[in-house]
Amino acid sequence: MEGKHYINGEWSTAGDGVINVMNPATGEQVGTVPNGGEDEATQAIEAAAAAFPEWSKTTAYHRSELLMKWHDLLMENKQEVAEIMTKEMGKPLAESIGEIEYSAAFISWFAEEGKRVYGRTVPASKEGKRIQVIKQPVGVVVSITPWNFPAAMMARKMAPALAAGCSFVAKPAKLTPLTAVRIYELAEEAGFPKGVINMVTGSASKIGKVFTSHPSVRKLTFTGSTEIGKELMKQSSETMLNLSLELGGHAPIIVLDDANIEEAVKGVVASKFRNAGQTCVCGNRIYVQESIVEEFSRKLQEAASDLKVGNGLDEGVQIGPLVDKDGYEKVAEHVKDAVDKGAKVLVGGDGKAENDSYFYNPTVLLNANSDMLVMNEETFGPVAPIMTFKTDEEAVKLANDTRFGLAAYFFTDSMTRGTYIAENLDYGIVGWNDGLPSAAQAPFGGMKESGIGREGGQEGLEAFLETKYISIQL
């Protein structure tokens, strides 16, 4: 597949050569995209700026119709788009199909929610005065999205931006741009006017510099690592960009002694092994109450042993490859460090790296402790380290002892204990007996160094709106 930029309603191959897109399951080439840079980013922003005045004045109902056409096309083509995703990213086909449905859910939800952008009238304290508050689209939005969810992260930004009346420029990840290209082709077919949606592929640093410095850009929305998020925030200070940053996580999972253990194991498997552990909200460290650790770890070991590893296009595969060599080496380093510091491998603990493909087996580690890398950093791989705790207070303290605050999970059937834990976790997303809390209608985002702002839900639309206060003296 030969991907192209989409700028001002035209497909283009401009740039400094091409980027080869590789299949992480086979090491084979899937296609190419142009290696764009400053010029292409500038042209895309200028096209979006030219399109903004007219687009922002269209009705929310008109924008909703276009979004729904795009949604329908995506759903009609979900198998084909999902196959592209599995080929360039590695996730099992069933998960890719799930991601296309998740992406489509953002589009349809925001198509509706865009009709509910309300202002308000505030009683004035003086006679003859009227105070109105109105909401308006922020303007040109630029977005940078990651390789682990090539469709959903773009849809979660693009759908609310378009519903709000903003024009948009996307920069998909270098490793997984082809899914984005296909989704843009469908958006073009849906009929978005020239310049309203644009996309550039290529060098993150060159495109990122233009995104953060061009005077026409009003908002940057980014999903990726905390380190890059901080860099973008520094760069954006010059133009005082409105920012949404969805950054790294290091999610704790707490299992209390009154939890339904079978359900807790299912929830942990869903959270931990989704996308081979390569999501920002994946459980990274598991705290289990002492009295149930034996039963819980045995059941988790059994469940992890049943997971089928392989090429995501093959029938029944549940764990695909890690995206690249760096990802594989990080996982292997975390496991080695844990074993050196006393962890016991219950299952896994090894992988296969050959012919530019990197598979790591689902791994469960017992006797983890707070000195281990895996208990302090995001692993981004299929590794489940188990550490014990005695009291609920201790579990919360361990869970909060990190600079990250994206997602946290816990399992208990007690309303009282659960309410205490939910209210005391310093995290933007909390799953209570739920390993998969993400949903289009809910606000997704983190506290602390996991980011700024929320995506999805009403908050996700608000992120693309400015508030204007109009004071009228009659």
- CA separation for the pair 169, 200 (Å, rounded): 7
- CA separation for the pair 192, 163 (Å, rounded): 12
Residue 109 found at the interface with ligand SIN (CB under 6 A): no
Minimum distance between the CB of residue 319 and ligand SIN, rounded to whole angstroms?
16
Q: CA 11: distance to chain centroid?
A: 26
Residue 222 found at the interface with ligand SIN (CB under 6 A): no
- How many other C-beta atoms can be found within 10 angstroms of the C-beta atom of residue 420? 15
Q: Of 23 and 148, which CB lies nearer to ligand SIN in the complex structure? A: 148
Minimum distance between the CB of residue 439 and ligand SIN, rounded to whole angstroms?
9
Phi-psi sector, 294: left (phi>0), alpha (psi -120 to 50), beta: alpha
Binding to ligand SIN in span 407-446, by CB under 6 A: 438, 444
Q: Of 210 and 406, which CB lies nearer to ligand SIN in the complex structure? A: 406
The strand pairing partners of 447, in sequence order, are 405
Residue 86 found at the interface with ligand SIN (CB under 6 A): no
Q: Let me know: does 311 contact 355? Beta carbons within 8 Å.
A: no
Position among 243, 280, 338, 365 found at the interface with ligand SIN (CB under 6 A): 280
- CA separation for the pair 37, 40 (Å, rounded): 6
Q: Of 156 and 299, which CB lies nearer to ligand SIN in the complex structure? A: 156
**The one segment of 236-244, 253-261, 277-285, 386-394 that binds ligand SIN by CB under 6 A:** 277-285
Minimum distance between the CB of residue 241 and ligand SIN, rounded to whole angstroms?
21
Residue 460 in tokens:
């996700």
- From the list 383, 460, 354, the residue with the least C-alpha distance to 107 is 460
- From the list 326, 350, 346, the residue with the least C-alpha distance to 336 is 350
Q: Which of 46, 280, 378, 455 is catalytic?
A: 280
3-state class (DSSP) for residue 139 = coil
* Packing angle of the helix pair 177-190, 152-164 (nearest 10 deg): 30
Q: Which of 246, 377, 378, 455 is catalytic?
A: 246
φ/ψ of 93, rounded to 5, equals: -55, -40
Residue 279 found at the interface with ligand SIN (CB under 6 A): yes
Please report the sign of the dihedral spanned by the C-alpha atoms of residue 394, residue 395, residue 399, residue 400.
Answer: negative
Please report the sign of the dihedral spanned by the C-alpha atoms of residue 237, residue 238, residue 239, residue 245.
Answer: negative
Q: Of 192 and 444, which CB lies nearer to ligand SIN in the complex structure? A: 444
φ/ψ of 36, rounded to 5, equals: -75, 165
Q: Of 137 and 327, which CB lies nearer to ligand SIN in the complex structure? A: 327
Residues 126-155 as x/- pattern, contact with ligand SIN by CB under 6 A: ----------------------xx--x---
Q: Residue 263 catalytic?
A: no
Minimum distance between the CB of residue 282 and ligand SIN, rounded to whole angstroms?
7
- CA separation for the pair 462, 292 (Å, rounded): 44
**The one segment of 253-261, 279-287, 380-388, 462-470 that binds ligand SIN by CB under 6 A:** 279-287
Minimum distance between the CB of residue 173 and ligand SIN, rounded to whole angstroms?
12
Q: Residue 280 catalytic?
A: yes
Minimum distance between the CB of residue 78 and ligand SIN, rounded to whole angstroms?
17
Residue 281 found at the interface with ligand SIN (CB under 6 A): yes
Active site residues: 246, 280
Binding residues vs ligand SIN (CB under 6 A): 148-149, 152, 279-281, 438, 444
